[in-house]
């Protein structure tokens, strides 16, 4: 049975979807005021994708988490494991600094100890993650607190329509396993998901949207990478209001040659701290409720590569995002 909160959220999303279909979210004064009263207070739940601070984390893991929390971030999304801590230890570390972890790029691995891994991940608070197939020649997984996998996108074989069909089946299958632990399978896009497949008309992202079950699979929308790849993010959210998770890369992308492939476009863009690029995040966050957004994470692959260190970039991103959401 649905709770009152779930029913209200569904009613709100139905209202917003109808408004979008009717020609955009142009609400009258009373309707806009009503939506403002029931919308989440996004500025108090700004999260950080920890790939952004991978360099300082490698030098001082706990100290970096402490600084992330001190900047004002309240949620994190790990990219490559849990510092070799057991689940209870990692949860205690998060609690120490007032941090929550609902999503992780560090995967569980299919195998005999899969349920043990997922129990540990649930203990840490995770509600969105991947399960990867067993590694050849090795049984089991990385352990509940081990490195697990995840991280940034790895080289992959060429995708075909048939291979993506199989991938969607696997995502739904693992999503059904995760559902038993109150979790969903998560997948975040880069630019390659928008490349045309071997039929010359379909993309991997098209098939993910069409063939994965939203009740089992959460497609984490990397808003910045989608824009860098030449996508219309606002139209995407209006057509497919199923993005519970966002990553909020910002970038200077508008001068890139539109004739380039999505991956080439992304490589030609300049990734920036949040608020220093060209993504219109005010328009994007206006669709947060329609999208079904629950958690979002600042991410900057280039943090610390300019005049500021990585945490300095994180501060700029946090301040700019909180200002936008206030």
Residues 141 and 265 in one domain: yes
d(CA 296, CA 248): 7
| pLDDT at position 279 | 98
- What CATH number is given to the structural domain containing 259? 3.20.20.150
Helix (H) or strand (E) holding 72: none
For the chain, how long is the longest CA-to-CA vector? 62
d(CA 114, CA 173): 14
pLDDT in tens, 290-317: 999 999 999 999 999 999 999 999 999 9
| pLDDT at position 135 | 74
User: Could you tell me which residues are beta bridge partners of residue 188?
Assistant: 220
| pLDDT at position 155 | 59
| pLDDT at position 14 | 55
Domain that holds residue 29: 1-39
Coil/strand/helix, residue 114: helix
Quote the pTM value. 0.85
Indicate the number of domains in the chain. Answer: 2
| pLDDT at position 322 | 97
CB pairs under 8 A, 24+ apart, for 64-69?
64/311, 65/93, 65/94, 65/97, 65/99, 66/97, 67/311, 68/97, 68/99, 68/311, 68/314, 69/97, 69/98, 69/99
Residues 165 and 48 in one domain: yes
| pLDDT at position 158 | 79
Residues 55 and 201 in one domain: yes
Helix (H) or strand (E) holding 127: none
Residues 35 and 130 in one domain: no
Q: Which residues of the chain have pLDDT under 50?
A: 1-8, 22-38, 137-153
Under 8 Å between Cβ of 167 and 193: no
């Amino acid at each position: 049975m649905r709770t009152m909160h779930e029913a209200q959220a569904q009613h709100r999303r139905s209202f917003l979807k109808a408004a979008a279909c009717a020609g955009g979210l142009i609400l009258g004064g009373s309707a806009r005021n009503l939506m403002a009263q029931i919308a989440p207070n996004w500025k108090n739940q700004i999260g950080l994708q920890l790939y952004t601070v991978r360099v300082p984390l490698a030098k001082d893991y706990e100290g970096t988490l402490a600084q992330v929390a001190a900047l004002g971030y309240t949620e994190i999304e790990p990219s490559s494991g849990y510092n070799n801590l057991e689940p209870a230890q990692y949860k205690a570390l998060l609690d120490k600094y007032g941090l929550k972890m609902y999503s992780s790029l560090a995967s569980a691995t299919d195998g005999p100890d899969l349920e043990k891994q997922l129990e540990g991940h649930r203990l840490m608070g995770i509600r969105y993650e991947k399960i990867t197939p067993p590694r050849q020649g090795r049984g089991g997984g990385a352990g509940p607190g081990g490195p697990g996998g995840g991280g940034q996108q790895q080289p992959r074989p060429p995708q075909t329509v048939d291979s993506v069909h199989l991938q969607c089946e696997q995502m739904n299958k693992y999503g059904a396993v995760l559902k038993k632990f109150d979790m969903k399978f998560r997948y975040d896009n880069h630019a390659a998901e928008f490349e045309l497949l071997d039929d010359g008309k379909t993309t991997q992202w098209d098939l993910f949207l069409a063939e994965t079950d939203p009740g089992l699979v959460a497609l984490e929308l990397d808003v910045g990478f989608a824009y860098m790849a030449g996508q219309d993010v606002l139209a995407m959210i209006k057509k497919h209001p199923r993005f519970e998770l966002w990553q909020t890369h910002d970038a200077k992308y508008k001068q890139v040659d539109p004739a380039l492939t999505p991956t080439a476009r992304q490589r030609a863009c300049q990734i920036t701290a949040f608020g220093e690029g060209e993504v219109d995040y005010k328009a994007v966050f206006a669709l947060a409720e329609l999208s079904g957004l629950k958690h979002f994470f600042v991410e900057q692959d280039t943090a610390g590569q300019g005049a500021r260190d990585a945490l300095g970039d994180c501060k700029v991103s946090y301040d700019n995002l909180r200002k936008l959401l206030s």
